[in-house]
Amino acid sequence: MARRKEEHAGGHGWFVTFADLMGLLVSFFVMLVAFSTQDAQKLKIVAGSMRDAFGVQDQARYSGIIEVMGLPTRPRLKNAANIHPEDASATPTPDQADKQHHFGVKSDEDRKFSLAAASLRAALQDMPDISEVSKHIMVEESKQGLNIEIVDQDGRSMFADGAKEPYERTRQIIQKLAPALKTLPYRISIVGHTASSKVPSPPDYGPWELSADRANAVRQILAAEGVPSGHFYMVAGKADTEPLFPDNPYIAPNRRVTITLMREEPPLPVDFKP
């Protein structure tokens, strides 16, 4: 009898392992069911608790779509607005809640701007000296639209010092961008910028006049290449009030002309008939 009990006790050890496996599977499916039915209000509370625990990022860095060595890194994050920790909350405002309903629309707009950026980059690829030209072009999205920054680099300016007319290489870049800008259904804003200077400028022709004249010179080149006048939304000069690199407003890349594809279509002609 003792021999029979020993044989019987060791014959069903697999059942314990099988029961453990079934218990793990049941726990797994219970977790799946629990995650499939989420309470939106509880998720907001949890998100607010996480923000309170870890804080909100207020310092970020990024550079343009065409990134090259030697170009300083921009001290902000692409497509992100800074939120102060004291403004963070677990309960979103009605405006923030409405934005969630338009997420699909924003995705479509972002996709269109991504295609526009790709077409502009393809236009620049045809230039034989693209490796040198790319150092002067930054393409990036913003709240206003798609920015095309034509910037200066140390030792290689896009405009002559104090002159409103661009160099021939700058003119070729703008002319190369014109066909793509002409076909895209967006109005165009052109803004000139200068870098801060420790030398006082002449009273009769300062950075405001220079930045505005350079922006208008770019508009004239685009118009000569066939960009319709109705596509132009604004031409302005902002001097050194909006540096590309706020941490160092005296460096060369702050001298630039920004061509922005606005997030709206050009107005329809008066005699347009659908």
Segment-wise mean pLDDT, segments of 10 residues, the chain, 274 residues = 51 76 89 74 69 54 42 48 55 52 56 78 68 73 86 79 87 88 90 90 89 96 94 94 89 90 71 66
- The alpha-carbon radius of gyration of the chain (Å, integer) is 29
Per domain, the residue ranges of the chain are 109-274
Residue by residue, DSSP assigns 98-120 as HHHHTHHHHHHHHHHHHHHHHHH
Q: Quick one: which H or E segment has residue 147?
A: strand 145-151
pLDDT, residue 180, reads 86
Instruction: Please give the C-alpha separations between residue 245 and each of 63, 66, 152, 219, 235, in angstroms, as whole numbers.
Output: 11, 17, 12, 24, 22
pLDDT, residue 263, reads 82
Supply the pTM of this predicted model: 0.61
Q: What is the distance of C-alpha 83 from the center of its chain?
A: 17
For the record, the structure tokens of 25 come out as: 């599977």
How many residues in total does the chain contain?
A: 274
pLDDT, residue 82, reads 54
pLDDT, residue 102, reads 46
Q: Are the beta carbons of 192 and 240 closer than 8 angstroms?
A: no
pLDDT, residue 31, reads 80
pLDDT, residue 62, reads 39
CATH architecture entry for 109-274: 2-Layer Sandwich (3.30)
pLDDT, residue 101, reads 46
Going by C-beta distance under 8 Å and a sequence separation of 6 or more, which residues neighbour residue 160?
167
pLDDT, residue 234, reads 94
For the record, the structure tokens of 29 come out as: 């499916």
